Amino acid sequence: MDLRFKVHIKIQKPINEVFDAVYNPKKLSSYFTTGGASGPLDEGQTVTWDFADFPGAFPVYVKQVIPNQLIVFEWQAQDSEPNPYNTKVEMRFEPLENNSTMVSITESGWKEDEKGLNSSYGNCFGWAHMSCCLKAFVEYGINLRKGSF
Protein backbone atom coordinates (compact mmCIF):
# COMPACT_ATOMS: atom_id res chain seq x y z
CA MET A 1 0.00 0.00 0.00
CA ASP A 2 1.39 3.39 -1.01
CA LEU A 3 -0.20 6.18 1.02
CA ARG A 4 -0.54 9.11 -1.37
CA PHE A 5 -3.25 11.42 -2.62
CA LYS A 6 -3.77 14.01 -5.33
CA VAL A 7 -6.03 17.05 -5.37
CA HIS A 8 -6.44 19.50 -8.21
CA ILE A 9 -8.27 22.68 -9.08
CA LYS A 10 -8.70 24.88 -12.14
CA ILE A 11 -7.89 28.54 -11.55
CA GLN A 12 -9.02 31.10 -14.08
CA LYS A 13 -5.80 33.11 -14.13
CA PRO A 14 -2.54 32.83 -16.12
CA ILE A 15 0.02 30.33 -14.89
CA ASN A 16 2.59 32.96 -13.86
CA GLU A 17 0.08 34.60 -11.47
CA VAL A 18 -0.95 31.28 -9.96
CA PHE A 19 2.63 30.05 -9.55
CA ASP A 20 3.68 33.35 -7.94
CA ALA A 21 0.81 33.12 -5.44
CA VAL A 22 2.41 29.91 -4.09
CA TYR A 23 6.10 30.82 -4.54
CA ASN A 24 5.91 34.39 -3.17
CA PRO A 25 5.84 34.41 0.67
CA LYS A 26 3.87 37.67 0.89
CA LYS A 27 1.10 36.29 -1.32
CA LEU A 28 1.15 32.82 0.29
CA SER A 29 0.75 34.49 3.70
CA SER A 30 -2.33 36.33 2.45
CA TYR A 31 -4.45 33.19 2.08
CA PHE A 32 -2.64 30.09 3.43
CA THR A 33 0.31 30.59 5.79
CA THR A 34 -1.59 33.26 7.70
CA GLY A 35 1.08 33.33 10.43
CA GLY A 36 3.72 33.99 7.78
CA ALA A 37 6.11 32.33 5.37
CA SER A 38 9.80 33.05 6.02
CA GLY A 39 10.91 33.23 2.40
CA PRO A 40 10.27 32.28 -1.21
CA LEU A 41 10.24 28.65 -2.27
CA ASP A 42 13.70 28.62 -3.81
CA GLU A 43 15.27 25.27 -4.64
CA GLY A 44 17.66 24.06 -1.96
CA GLN A 45 16.31 26.39 0.73
CA THR A 46 14.52 25.64 3.98
CA VAL A 47 11.70 28.03 4.81
CA THR A 48 9.19 28.00 7.63
CA TRP A 49 5.45 28.24 7.34
CA ASP A 50 3.36 29.45 10.26
CA PHE A 51 -0.40 29.24 10.53
CA ALA A 52 -2.25 31.64 12.81
CA ASP A 53 -4.84 28.96 13.57
CA PHE A 54 -2.30 26.12 14.12
CA PRO A 55 0.57 27.47 16.26
CA GLY A 56 4.15 26.54 15.55
CA ALA A 57 6.55 26.85 12.66
CA PHE A 58 6.65 24.10 10.04
CA PRO A 59 10.02 23.72 8.24
CA VAL A 60 9.63 23.25 4.48
CA TYR A 61 12.63 21.74 2.66
CA VAL A 62 12.45 22.89 -0.97
CA LYS A 63 13.82 20.18 -3.25
CA GLN A 64 12.98 21.30 -6.78
CA VAL A 65 11.50 24.36 -8.46
CA ILE A 66 10.78 24.82 -12.15
CA PRO A 67 9.15 28.25 -12.53
CA ASN A 68 5.55 28.10 -13.69
CA GLN A 69 5.66 24.28 -13.73
CA LEU A 70 6.66 22.54 -10.51
CA ILE A 71 7.43 22.97 -6.80
CA VAL A 72 8.60 19.94 -4.82
CA PHE A 73 9.27 20.02 -1.10
CA GLU A 74 9.41 17.80 1.94
CA TRP A 75 8.16 18.42 5.45
CA GLN A 76 7.74 16.40 8.60
CA ALA A 77 4.81 14.02 8.76
CA GLN A 78 2.49 15.00 11.59
CA ASP A 79 2.24 11.43 12.87
CA SER A 80 6.00 10.91 13.08
CA GLU A 81 6.90 11.53 16.72
CA PRO A 82 9.00 10.11 18.34
CA ASN A 83 10.69 8.93 15.11
CA PRO A 84 10.35 11.84 12.66
CA TYR A 85 10.18 11.31 8.92
CA ASN A 86 9.21 13.51 5.98
CA THR A 87 6.52 13.34 3.34
CA LYS A 88 6.94 14.68 -0.19
CA VAL A 89 4.67 17.33 -1.72
CA GLU A 90 4.59 17.98 -5.48
CA MET A 91 2.70 20.99 -6.80
CA ARG A 92 2.29 20.99 -10.59
CA PHE A 93 1.08 23.95 -12.65
CA GLU A 94 -0.34 23.30 -16.11
CA PRO A 95 -1.41 26.05 -18.51
CA LEU A 96 -4.91 25.69 -19.95
CA GLU A 97 -6.71 27.59 -22.66
CA ASN A 98 -8.38 30.90 -21.82
CA ASN A 99 -5.45 31.93 -19.57
CA SER A 100 -6.42 29.37 -16.94
CA THR A 101 -4.20 27.07 -14.88
CA MET A 102 -4.63 23.57 -13.49
CA VAL A 103 -2.95 23.12 -10.11
CA SER A 104 -2.34 19.54 -8.94
CA ILE A 105 -0.99 18.76 -5.48
CA THR A 106 0.25 15.28 -4.61
CA GLU A 107 1.59 14.23 -1.22
CA SER A 108 3.17 10.86 -0.44
CA GLY A 109 5.48 9.04 1.91
CA TRP A 110 3.52 8.26 5.07
CA LYS A 111 4.27 5.12 7.00
CA GLU A 112 1.87 2.38 6.07
CA ASP A 113 0.07 2.09 9.39
CA GLU A 114 -3.06 3.53 11.00
CA LYS A 115 -1.29 6.69 12.21
CA GLY A 116 0.14 7.30 8.74
CA LEU A 117 -3.24 6.73 7.12
CA ASN A 118 -4.96 9.18 9.49
CA SER A 119 -2.23 11.76 8.95
CA SER A 120 -2.60 11.44 5.18
CA TYR A 121 -6.35 12.07 5.47
CA GLY A 122 -5.70 15.25 7.44
CA ASN A 123 -3.22 16.53 4.89
CA CYS A 124 -5.55 15.68 2.00
CA PHE A 125 -8.19 17.85 3.64
CA GLY A 126 -5.58 20.57 4.18
CA TRP A 127 -4.40 20.64 0.56
CA ALA A 128 -7.98 20.60 -0.76
CA HIS A 129 -8.69 23.59 1.49
CA MET A 130 -5.46 25.30 0.42
CA SER A 131 -6.30 24.88 -3.26
CA CYS A 132 -9.73 26.47 -2.75
CA CYS A 133 -8.11 29.31 -0.81
CA LEU A 134 -5.58 29.76 -3.63
CA LYS A 135 -8.39 30.00 -6.18
CA ALA A 136 -10.33 32.54 -4.10
CA PHE A 137 -7.22 34.65 -3.53
CA VAL A 138 -5.93 34.66 -7.10
CA GLU A 139 -9.30 35.08 -8.80
CA TYR A 140 -11.06 37.37 -6.31
CA GLY A 141 -8.46 38.70 -3.84
CA ILE A 142 -10.17 37.22 -0.76
CA ASN A 143 -8.86 35.10 2.12
CA LEU A 144 -11.11 32.07 2.64
CA ARG A 145 -8.97 30.77 5.49
CA LYS A 146 -9.78 33.71 7.74
CA GLY A 147 -12.18 32.44 10.40
CA SER A 148 -12.28 28.92 8.97
CA PHE A 149 -10.73 27.19 11.97
- Across 72-86, b (16+ Cβ under 10 Å) vs e yields bbbbebbbbeeeeee
Give the chain's domain count: 1
Q: Is 124 part of a structural domain of the chain?
A: yes
- The CATH number for 10's domain is 3.30.530.20
Q: Is 71 part of a structural domain of the chain?
A: yes
Range of the domain at 131: 4-140
Q: Is 113 part of a structural domain of the chain?
A: yes
Nearest to 29 by CA among 21, 37, 38: 37
Q: Is 146 part of a structural domain of the chain?
A: no
Which pLDDT tens digit goes with each residue over 71-97?
A: 999 999 987 778 899 999 999 999 999
Q: Is 145 part of a structural domain of the chain?
A: no
Q: Is 30 part of a structural domain of the chain?
A: yes
Centre a 10 Å sphere on the Cβ of residue 12 and count the other Cβ atoms it contains: 13
**What residue type is assigned to position 134 of the chain?**
L
Which pLDDT tens digit goes with each residue over 29-72?
A: 999 998 999 999 999 999 999 988 777 899 999 999 999 999 99
Give DSSP secondary structure letters for 7-62. EEEEESS-HHHHHHHHH-HHHHTTTT-TTEE-S---TT-EEEEEETTEEEEEEEEE
Peptide bond connecting 82 to the previous residue in cis, omega within 30 degrees of 0: yes
Give residue 148's pLDDT.
77
